[in-house]
Amino acid sequence: MAYPVTLIYGDGSGPEVVAAARKVVEATGVAIDWQVAEAGAAMIEKYGAPLPEETKASIRKTGIALKGPIATPIGTGFRSVNVEMRKTFDLYANMRPVKTYAGVDGKFSGIDLVVVRENTEDLYAGIERMVDEDTAESIKLFTRKGCERITRFAFDFAVREGRKKVTCVHKANIMKCTDGMFLDIAREIAKDYPTIEFDDSIVDAMCMRLVMFPEKYDVLLCPNLYGDIVSDLCAGLVGGLGMGPSANIGVDGAIFEPIHGSAPDIAGQNKINPTACILSASLMLAHLGEAKASAQVEQAVAKVLAEGKVRTQDLGGTATTEEFANAVVAAM
């Protein structure tokens, strides 16, 4: 029987990367019943909201979505659709693998780490207001439940994937209540996982260490804001945003998407790098229990990148989005 999966093409360059990922998934032979749903700014006119009820209902039914990036207006306008999805489906764990692939020019080799980012709390809870005309306030919200479940997710993931170390990233020296609680809970839960090494780092020092010796890190456990920033920094270590896949895992579903935005500057030009979206689809296949197909996709991407004959412009090549996807299919 085919797996039902909600497919959201997204804004800007989203449709191009999602089409590429869909083609690659279909080439694995795993049967997927794609249920195309819509989200984004254009939906406001059609449905009155950027995340229509129909789309939420589809994800509720399938429990799984593959999505392209969705544009969010800066400063004003509607709240991020991504944040709303994470809250609606309680997608509390954002998992972002960061890996060096042979053939991708970067300053480093041997990076193989995973950023595990808390996805629903912190400054992203959206509790902010203008106190008066000249004073703005945003609440940094951490709950014990939120800290505990993301920490357990990180350790369980480390055990499942045969990883060695979890590093808790925080700023507990300054934010003693919020980050202090996050660190205390991580230290406590670490005791339940004696086979996994545990350490911690203040976020600013972590950034320095990551650009000096990223190969030393394994699983980074981060609150929402630091996880967002650190994972883009990490993407920069391995070839840029086009190389960063992600999974949002939660109580009521799982959504897989590239970490990059809608790249409006290159939208519609068939030149965006679809690797991040293809690797997100590989994570989705693993989540569906299709480990062989998931590995097949990742290995094909690695092969095409290593050969270096078909490369998109961000990686110094001339290939189109479609040509890259076709090369991955051929490599499978």
Contacting residue, 37, 93, 241, 319, with ligand NAD by CB under 6 A: 241
From 65, 104, 206, 272, residue interacting with ligand NAD (rule: CB under 6 A): 272
Choose the stretch contacting ligand NAD; rule: CB under 6 A; options: 29-37, 136-144, 149-157, 253-261: 253-261
Tokens of 273: 């790098």
> Residue 72 or 294: which CB sits closer to ligand NAD?
72
Structure tokens at 223: 């609150």
Within residues 17-76, the interface with ligand NAD by CB under 6 A covers 69-72
- Residue 120 is classified by DSSP as S
**CB of 83 or CB of 202, closer to ligand NAD:** 83
Chain residue at closest Cβ approach to ligand NAD: 261
283 part of the interface to ligand NAD, by CB under 6 A: no
280 binds ligand NAD (CB under 6 A): no
Exposure class string for 266-293: b at 16+ Cβ within 10 A, else e = bbeeebbbbbbbbbbbbbbbbbbebeeb
Assess 166 for contact with ligand NAD (CB under 6 A). Answer: no
Separation in Å, CA 247 to CA 34, 285, 287: 18, 11, 9
Beta carbon nearer to ligand NAD, 148 or 323: 323
Out of 97, 214, 239, 261, the residue judged to bind ligand NAD by CB under 6 A: 261
**Could you tell me if 281 and 255 are in contact, meaning their C-beta atoms sit under 8 angstroms apart?**
no
Using CB under 6 A as the binding rule, whether residue 257 contacts ligand NAD is answered as yes
Give 115 or 186: the residue with its C-beta nearer to ligand NAD: 115
Q: What residues are annotated to the active site?
A: 124, 171, 204, 228
- Among 258, 273, 272, residue whose Cα is nearest residue 67: 258
Angstrom distance (rounded) from CA 122 to CA 113: 23
User: Applying CB under 6 A, does 265 fall inside the site for ligand NAD?
Assistant: yes
Using the rule CB under 6 A, is 16 a contact of ligand NAD?
no
Instruction: Report the alpha-carbon angle 159-164-169, nearest 5.
Output: 95
Q: Which of 50, 97, 223, 242 binds ligand NAD (CB under 6 A)?
A: 242
In angstroms, the CA 176 to CA 171 distance is 8
Q: Does 276 bind ligand NAD (CB under 6 A)?
A: yes
Q: In terms of CB distance, is 15 or 180 closer to ligand NAD? A: 15
CB 243 within 8 A of CB 104: yes
Interaction between residue 263 and ligand NAD (CB under 6 A): yes
Q: Nearest 5°: phi and psi at 119?
A: -115, 0
- Asked if residue 112 lies in contact with residue 169, where contact means CB atoms within 8 angstroms, the answer is no
Is 81 within 8 Å of 50 (Cβ atoms)?
Answer: yes
3-state SS assignment for residue 299: helix
Interface with ligand NAD (CB under 6 A): 69-72, 82, 241-242, 257, 260-266, 272-273, 276, 314
